[in-house]
C-alpha cells in the first residue's frame, strides 16, 4: 500500500507557482528524500501533505485520507519536525515530550511511558530535566524529532533535520532516523546530498516547484551516467548538463 499518493498537486502564491502539478507515490515504511535547491517547493509540498497549507489544485491522500477533506484524521497519523527546532524553550526535555503527548489525547500514564522510552531511545538521559532552550543545536534537533514521534505516527515529515549540525551530531541523527524508519514512513527534505544518498530508499528532485525525477540514488547515478550522486543531482537539475 502507498502511504502517500499525490496527483497534480499545485500551490500558488500570487504570481509564483511554488508547487507545480506534482504527482508522486510514496510507499509505506519507505524513507523518501525530497531534494532541490532553495525555493524548489520541498517545504511547501510537505506542508500541504501535513494539512498546514491548502492546495490550489490537484489532490493528495495520506494513508488513504484526503488532505483536502480529512485534515483532523490525518493530523492524528503524522509527525512533523520543522526546519526550525520549534520547541517550548523554557520547558525541560521531559516536559516538552509530556506536553506534545498530551496534545494527541494520550493518557497521563501512556505519556509518561512514551516520554521515558524516547528519552532512552534518543540518549537524552543527561539533559532530560534541562530546559531545551539551554541545550546545544544537536540536542535540540534530537528533541525536535523525538517530539514528532511521541504520537507513534504512521508518517514522519522531517524538514531539514540536520541543518547546521556538526558531523558527529549529524551522524547521530542519521542513526536515529534509520531506526525510526523501521516501522514508519519517513519523508525527508535536505540540502545535504550525502545525507539523502545515505538514508533514502528513493529520492525526488524538484526545481521551481516541478518534479524532475524520482528514483533510487543508484538509479539516478546510472540514469545520468554520473560518477557520483552529487553529479547526478547537478545533471538532473541542470537538464543533463554538468554545472
Partner 1 sequence: MHRIWSLAKRNGKEILREPVSLAFLIGLPVVMEILFYYMFHTLTPQFEMRYLAPGLIGFANAFLALFLAILISMDRESAFITRIYTTPVRAYEFILGYFLVAIPLGLCQSAVILLVGGLLESSFFSWSLLLVLPGSLLSIWMFSAVGILFGSVFNAKAVGGISSILITGQSVLSGMWFPLEGLPEGFLTVMGILPFKNISLLLQSIATPASSFEDLWRPFLIVAAYTVACAALSCVLFIRNSKAK
Closest distance of CB 40 from partner 1, Å: 17
Cell of 77: 497519523
Cell of 24: 508522486
Nearer to partner 1, 52 or 198 (CB): 52
Closest distance of CB 18 from partner 1, Å: 10
Nearer to partner 1, 50 or 232 (CB): 50
Q: Using the 8-state DSSP alphabet, how is residue 125 labeled?
A: G
Q: Using the 8-state DSSP alphabet, how is residue 133 labeled?
A: G
Does residue 40 contact residue 208 with C-beta atoms inside 8 Å? yes
Closest distance of CB 216 from partner 1, Å: 28
Cell of 2: 502507498
Nearer to partner 1, 32 or 80 (CB): 80
Closest distance of CB 163 from partner 1, Å: 13
Sheet containing 155-159: give its strands across.
78-81, 155-159, 185-190, 31-36, 202-207, 210-215
Q: Write b or e for each residue in 8-18: b if 16 or more Cβ atoms lie within 10 A of its Cβ, otherwise e.
A: ebbbeeeeebb
CA distance 242 to 226: 9
Closest distance of CB 91 from partner 1, Å: 6
Nearer to partner 1, 53 or 226 (CB): 53
CA distance 21 to 81: 25
Per the listing, cell 500541504 goes with: 48
Per the listing, cell 511547501 goes with: 44
Which residues contact partner 1 by CB under 8 A?
13, 47, 50-53, 72, 75-76, 78-91, 95, 99-100, 102-105, 131, 151, 157
CA distance 207 to 44: 13
Closest distance of CB 20 from partner 1, Å: 18
Nearer to partner 1, 32 or 233 (CB): 32
Does residue 66 contact residue 54 with C-beta atoms inside 8 Å? no
Nearer to partner 1, 42 or 202 (CB): 42
Nearer to partner 1, 61 or 85 (CB): 85
Closest distance of CB 102 from partner 1, Å: 4
Amino acid at each position: 500500500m502507498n502511504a502517500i499518493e499525490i496527483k497534480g498537486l499545485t500551490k500558488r502564491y500570487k504570481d509564483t507557482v511554488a508547487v507545480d502539478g506534482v504527482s508522486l507515490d510514496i510507499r509505506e515504511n519507505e524513507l523518501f528524500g525530497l531534494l532541490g535547491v532553495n525555493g524548489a517547493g520541498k517545504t511547501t509540498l510537505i506542508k500541504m501533505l501535513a494539512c498546514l497549507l491548502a492546495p490550489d489544485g490537484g489532490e493528495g491522500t495520506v494513508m488513504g485520507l484526503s488532505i483536502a477533506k480529512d485534515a483532523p484524521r490525518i493530523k492524528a497519523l503524522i509527525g512533523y519536525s520543522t526546519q526550525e527546532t520549534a520547541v517550548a524553550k523554557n520547558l525541560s526535555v521531559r516536559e516538552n515530550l509530556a506536553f506534545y503527548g498530551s496534545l494527541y489525547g494520550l493518557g497521563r500514564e501512556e505519556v509518561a511511558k512514551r516520554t521515558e522510552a524516547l528519552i532512552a531511545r534518543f540518549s537524552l538521559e543527561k539533559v532530560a530535566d534541562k530546559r531545551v532552550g539551554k541545550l546545544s543545536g544537536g540536542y535540540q534537533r534530537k528533541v525536535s524529532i523525538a517530539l514528532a514521534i511521541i504520537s507513534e505516527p504512521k508518517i514522519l515529515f522531517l524538514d531539514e533535520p540536520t541543518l547546521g549540525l556538526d558531523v558527529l551530531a549529524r551522524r547521530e541523527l542519521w542513526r536515529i532516523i534509520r531506526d525510526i524508519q523501521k516501522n514508519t514512513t519517513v519523508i525527508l527534505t535536505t540540502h545535504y546530498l550525502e545525507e539523502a544518498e545515505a538514508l533514502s530508499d528513493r529520492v525526488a528532485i524538484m526545481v521551481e516547484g516541478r518534479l524532475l525525477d524520482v528514483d533510487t540514488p543508484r538509479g539516478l547515478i546510472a540514469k545520468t551516467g554520473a560518477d557520483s550522486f552529487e553529479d547526478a543531482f547537478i545533471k538532473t537539475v541542470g537538464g543533463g548538463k554538468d554545472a
